[in-house]
């Protein structure tokens, strides 16, 4: 949580993302504007034009090119950044596999937005959750402070030699991207010290040490490389926790154990499980009127902290997930992931906030009621919907 | 067992793997250059996408270890000095 | 926690007004949020913006449905949109209106605490353009006493620079002086 002090500025989520990139001192940026992420691209261009950030900005003609350009740049052994949302992320889809398969420590900010049709520029999680199987680490933020802090941490996580995987830092479009609130801006020198100089581990452009990047891997070896990616993702759990602790020591802020944040769970009869900014509204509801409810905020969706969540939700009166997306023809993704780790726990499923439908305190209360009534265990309950 | 080393990101650190991979095995047709017809214009040399035509002492020579038999050299030869012959018809 | 809704037309600076309030809150040692309306704007109400101000960190992330205070940048909006929708009983409305209109304004806003100022005249005098947001922030400060004048001066210098900042500070100060409770 942000402590008000002289280091605090009142900024929106997009600015917090751009500021983190400046503090980390990224070398190459390629991005294509798309609502609600566009201001990130604008702020970064401004930083570069004003000499506040010494980075190469590659202008591209699409998101597919943006991610391709940062894959190429990252493979030469420099620190890179890109940002997108919605259709832009969908357009990047095939290259996301290449980024993780090449084990490139790319950091990408995503201002979460729904996908067409119908055309919609507002928030939900259908863009990033649809990319969950691309082997990118996914971290979801609740506040603008957390966006800034998480992007800084993301470089440490991605570049860690036990991990070497790309990281998506996800934050709700408009609800965070276009909302101003106080954010403590850490000292530049201390951030640089925290992230350290980027030392490429396995990939670099060096005439003294030529290498082949992106060769064919046939049926004789492809599976081995995929299993290695899975193992790196598993090791990332440890690293995410470690980086969260070190960040807390250095800057005085932490987010649960880095993967899961618990709020009022200790003696809670009911547990709400959710991701992103809606968790702030859940906390507000707990503070104002439901001290018997606790929140499990899933910060890391991949790697998924399923065992930890299963432990927390044991022996409660009721448990409910709030998904801001859906897997049509099946149960929603967050519910499915939770149930895979806690098959014996009765978990209710709700869907809320698609396409920017506001999730109000009364909608959170409605989700809790679904758990109280033991509904939604084999069919999701849609919250605040008219059909 | 795979010949590939299980490096992070499948990066190949030791150079020369392309040289070791004798891609000439993929060939169905073999370009056969008739040195008597050849006028030494060097078109085949310039157009071969695999760099398999090499200038030699008195004519051009084709490197069959890597030539994939695409037939471009035969197509561009102005005097039809290169004939594409089915591999199985070669003795 | 105080929840504020600002109604304006395009170009009057409703979103900037919300941002200035949020930045000023921090100068006064308070937490804040400022955000535009998320969604398709309803007909006749081109721009709505919101702000929250609180002594504690603000966790709630939904939009504002039961505002404590309303700021109206353009009195003509009252005939196209229900500017007091969801406003608490005895809630505060600060409105830009020339004195000739005050009776009409009062009639439409009966039951609420209403403050009015001719912000258009102030903006034209001080800035040379009818961008009334900063003047209305000044009027709002006087009416609500939520934030200090110094904090808003500082916020304006953060948001604008040089001469433009100073002109806007003067607009804030004049509206602060000239605003009146009408009843
Ligand atoms: S057949 Fe193709 S690969 Fe072989 S020498 Fe001719 S042009 Fe080159
Ligand atoms: S293209 Fe034909 S004529 Fe020219 S160098 Fe090659 S074989 Fe000889």
Q: Whose CA is nearest to atom 4 of ligand 2?
A: B41
pLDDT digits (tens, 9 = 90+) for C32-91: 999 999 887 665 568 999 999 999 999 999 999 999 999 999 999 998 889 999 998 889
Tell which residue, A357, A323, A328, has the closest CA to residue A339.
A323
Counting ligands in written order, which one lies closest to the CA of residue B48? 1
Tell me how far apart the alpha carbons of residues C121 and C46 are, in angstroms, rounded to a whole number.
22
Give me the pLDDT at residue B58, please. Answer: 77
Give me the pLDDT at residue A40, please. Answer: 98
> Is pLDDT of B3 > 90?
no
Q: Which residues contact C108 (CB under 8 A, 6 or more apart)?
A: C78
Q: Phi and psi at residue A78, in whole multiples of 5°? A: -120, 165
Q: Whose CA is nearest to atom 2 of ligand 1?
A: B70
Residue B90 forms contact with A (CB below 8 Å): no
Instruction: Give the DSSP H/E element, type plus range, for residue A238.
Output: helix A222-251
**Among A2, A8, A178, whose Cβ lies nearest the Cβ of C35?**
A178
Give the position, in ligand 2's atom list, of the atom nearest the Cα of B34. Answer: 7
| Alpha-carbon gap: B55 to the closest alpha carbon of chain A (Å) | 28
Which residues are near ligand 2 (CB < 6 Å)? B 33, 38-44, 60, 76-77, 79, 81-82
Give me the pLDDT at residue B14, please. Answer: 84
Hunting for tokens 């507000």 — which residue is that? Answer: A284
Give me the pLDDT at residue C44, please. Answer: 56
pLDDT class for B15, splitting at 50, 70, 90? confident
Give me the pLDDT at residue C46, please. Answer: 81
Q: Can you read off the two tokens belonging to residue A72?
A: 């190429």
Range of the domain at C72: 2-182
Q: Phi and psi at residue A25, in whole multiples of 5°? A: 65, 60
Residue B19 forms contact with A (CB below 8 Å): no
Does the distance separating the beta carbons of B2 and A221 come in below 8 Å? yes
pLDDT class for A147, splitting at 50, 70, 90? very high
> What's the whole-number mean pLDDT along residues A225-251?
98
Residue C34 forms contact with A (CB below 8 Å): yes
Give me the pLDDT at residue A84, please. Answer: 98
> What's the whole-number mean pLDDT along residues A303-310?
98
Give me the pLDDT at residue C42, please. Answer: 63
pLDDT digits (tens, 9 = 90+) for A9-48: 999 999 999 999 999 999 999 999 999 999 999 999 999 9
Ligand 2 centroid to B52 CA: how many Å?
13
Average pLDDT over chain A, rounded to an integer: 97
Counting ligands in written order, which one lies closest to the CA of residue B33? 2
pLDDT class for A224, splitting at 50, 70, 90? very high
CB atoms near residue C165 (< 10 Å): 17
Q: Decide if A2-251 and A260-382 have a common fold.
A: yes
Which residues in chain A have Cβ-Cβ distances shorter than 8 Å to C39?
Answer: 122, 356
What's the start-to-end Cα distance of chain A, in Å? 38
Tell which residue, A169, A136, A127, has the closest CA to residue A13.
A169
CATH of the domain at C71: 3.40.920.10
**Structural domains of chain B, ranges and CATH numbers in brackets:** 30-89 (3.30.70.20)
Which residues in chain A have Cβ-Cβ distances shorter than 8 Å to B17?
Answer: 212, 215
Q: Whose CA is nearest to atom 4 of ligand 1?
A: B67
Instruction: Give the DSSP H/E element, type plus range, for residue C69.
Output: strand C69-72
Does the distance separating the beta carbons of A281 and C59 come in below 8 Å? yes
Residue B23 forms contact with A (CB below 8 Å): no
CA dihedral A131, A133, A134, A139 (to 10 degrees): 60
- The answer to whether residues C13 and C132 touch, using CB atoms and an 8 Å cutoff, is yes
Give me the pLDDT at residue B1, please. Answer: 55
Does the distance separating the beta carbons of A217 and B4 come in below 8 Å? yes
Ligand 1 centroid to A218 CA: how many Å?
25
Which residues in chain A have Cβ-Cβ distances shorter than 8 Å to B3?
Answer: 220
pLDDT class for A90, splitting at 50, 70, 90? very high
Which residues in chain C have Cβ-Cβ distances shorter than 8 Å to A277?
Answer: 61
**Among C34, C39, C60, whose Cβ lies nearest the Cβ of A180?**
C34
Give me the pLDDT at residue C45, please. Answer: 61
> Sheet of A167-172: strands edge to edge?
A56-58, A28-30, A80-84, A107-112, A167-172, A137-140, A300-302
- The answer to whether residues A48 and A181 touch, using CB atoms and an 8 Å cutoff, is no
Ligand 1 centroid to B33 CA: how many Å?
11
Does the distance separating the beta carbons of A10 and C25 come in below 8 Å? yes
> Is pLDDT of A385 > 80?
yes
Give me the pLDDT at residue C43, please. Answer: 58
| Alpha-carbon gap: C165 to the closest alpha carbon of chain A (Å) | 18
Give the position, in ligand 1's atom list, of the atom nearest the Cα of B51. Answer: 8
- The domain locations on chain A are 2-251, 260-382
For domain A2-251, say whether CATH 3.40.50.970 is its number: yes
Counting ligands in written order, which one lies closest to the CA of residue B52? 1
Which residues in chain A have Cβ-Cβ distances shorter than 8 Å to B13?
Answer: 209, 211
pLDDT digits (tens, 9 = 90+) for A32-88: 999 999 999 999 999 999 999 999 999 999 999 999 999 999 999 999 999 999 999
Which residues in chain B have Cβ-Cβ distances shorter than 8 Å to A202?
Answer: 7-9, 11
Does the distance separating the beta carbons of B6 and A203 come in below 8 Å? no
> What's the whole-number mean pLDDT along residues A140-146?
98
- A–B: how many Cβ contacts below 8 A? 53
Q: Helix H segments across A35-125? A: 38-49, 63-75, 86-101
Residue C33 forms contact with A (CB below 8 Å): yes
Residue of A201, A223, A225 best to disrupt the B interface, most CBs of B under 10 A: A225
Query: What residues of chain A, 317 to 356, have a C-beta less than 8 Å from chain C?
Result: 356
Share of residues in chain A with pLDDT > 90 (%): 99
Task: Chain C: list its partners (3+ Cβ pairs within 8 Å).
Answer: A
Ligand 1 centroid to B49 CA: how many Å?
7
Q: Can you read off the two tokens belonging to residue A110?
A: 């995503």
pTM value is 0.93
Q: Structural domain tally of chain C?
A: 1
When the candidates are 1.10.3720.10, 3.10.129.10, 3.40.50.720, 3.40.50.920, the CATH number that belongs to A260-382 is 3.40.50.920
Q: Phi and psi at residue B37, in whole multiples of 5°? A: -80, -30
């Amino acid at each position: 949580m942000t402590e008000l002090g002289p280091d605090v500025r009142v900024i929106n989520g997009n600015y917090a993302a751009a500021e983190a990139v400046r503090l980390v001192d990224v070398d190459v940026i390629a991005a294509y504007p798309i609502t609600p992420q566009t201001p990130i691209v604008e702020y970064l261009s401004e930083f570069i034009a004003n000499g506040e950030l010494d980075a190469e900005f590659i202008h591209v003609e699409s998101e597919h090119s943006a991610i391709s350009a940062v894959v190429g740049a990252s493979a030469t052994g420099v620190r890179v950044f890109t940002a997108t949302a919605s259709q832009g992320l969908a357009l990047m889809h095939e290259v996301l596999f290449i980024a993780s398969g090449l084990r490139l420590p790319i950091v990408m900010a995503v201002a979460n937005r729904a996908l067409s049709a119908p055309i919609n520029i507002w928030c939900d999680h259908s863009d990033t959750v649809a990319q969950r199987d691309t082997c990118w680490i996914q971290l979801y933020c609740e506040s603008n402070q957390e966006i800034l802090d998480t992007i800084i941490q993301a470089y440490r996580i991605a570049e860690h030699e036990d991990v070497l995987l790309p990281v998506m830092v996800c934050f709700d479009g408009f609800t965070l991207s276009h909302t101003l609130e106080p954010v403590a801006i850490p000292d530049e020198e201390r951030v640089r010290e925290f992230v350290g100089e980027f030392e490429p581990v396995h990939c670099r452009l060096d005439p003294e040490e030529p290498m082949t990047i992106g060769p064919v891997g046939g049926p004789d070896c492809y599976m081995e490389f995929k299993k290695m990616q899975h193992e790196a993702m598993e090791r990332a759990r440890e690293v995410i926790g470690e980086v969260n602790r070190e960040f807390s020591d250095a800057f005085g802020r932490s987010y649960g154990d880095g993967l899961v944040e618990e709020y009022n769970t200790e003696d809670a009869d009911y547990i709400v499980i959710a991701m992103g900014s809606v968790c702030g509204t859940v906390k507000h509801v707990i503070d104002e009127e439901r001290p018997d409810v606790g929140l499990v905020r899933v910060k890391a969706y991949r790697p998924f902290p399923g065992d930890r969540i299963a432990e927390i939700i044991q022996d409660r009166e009721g448990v409910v997930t709030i998904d801001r997306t859906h897997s049509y023809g099946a149960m929603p993704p967050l519910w499915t992931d939770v149930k895979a780790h806690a098959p014996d726990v009765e978990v209710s499923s709700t869907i809320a906030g698609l396409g920017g439908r506001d999730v109000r305190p009364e909608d959170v209360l409605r989700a809790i009621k679904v758990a109280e009534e033991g509904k939604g265990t084999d069919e999701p309950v849609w919250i605040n919907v008219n059909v | 067992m795979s010949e590939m080393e299980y490096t992070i990101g499948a990066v190949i650190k030791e150079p020369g793997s392309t040289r070791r991979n004798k891609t000439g095995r993929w060939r169905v047709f073999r370009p056969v250059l008739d040195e008597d017809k050849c006028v030494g214009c060097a078109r085949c040399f310039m157009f071969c996408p695999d760099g398999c035509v090499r200038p030699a002492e008195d004519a051009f020579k084709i490197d069959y270890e890597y030539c994939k038999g695409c037939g471009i050299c035969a197509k561009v030869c102005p005097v039809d000095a290169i004939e594409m012959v089915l591999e199985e018809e070669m003795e | 926690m105080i929840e504020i809704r600002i109604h304006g037309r395009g170009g009057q600076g409703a979103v900037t007004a919300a941002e200035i309030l949020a930045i000023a809150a921090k100068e006064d040692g308070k937490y804040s949020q400022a955000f535009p309306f998320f969604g398709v704007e309803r007909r006749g109400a081109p721009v709505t913006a919101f702000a929250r101000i609180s002594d504690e960190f603000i966790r709630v992330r939904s939009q504002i449905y039961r505002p404590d205070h309303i700021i109206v940048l353009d009195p003509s909006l009252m005939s196209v949109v229900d500017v007091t929708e969801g406003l608490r009983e005895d809630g505060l409305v600060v409105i830009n209106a020339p004195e000739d209109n005050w009776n009409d304004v009062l009639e439409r806003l009966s039951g609420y605490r209403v403050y009015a100022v001719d912000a258009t005249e102030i903006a034209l005098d001080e800035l040379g353009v009818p961008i009334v947001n900063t003047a209305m922030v000044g009027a709002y400060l006087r009416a609500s006493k939520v934030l200090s004048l110094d904090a808003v001066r500082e916020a304006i210098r953060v948001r604008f620079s040089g001469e433009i900042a100073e002109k806007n500070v003067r607009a804030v100060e004049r509206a602060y002086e000239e605003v009146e409770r009408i009843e």
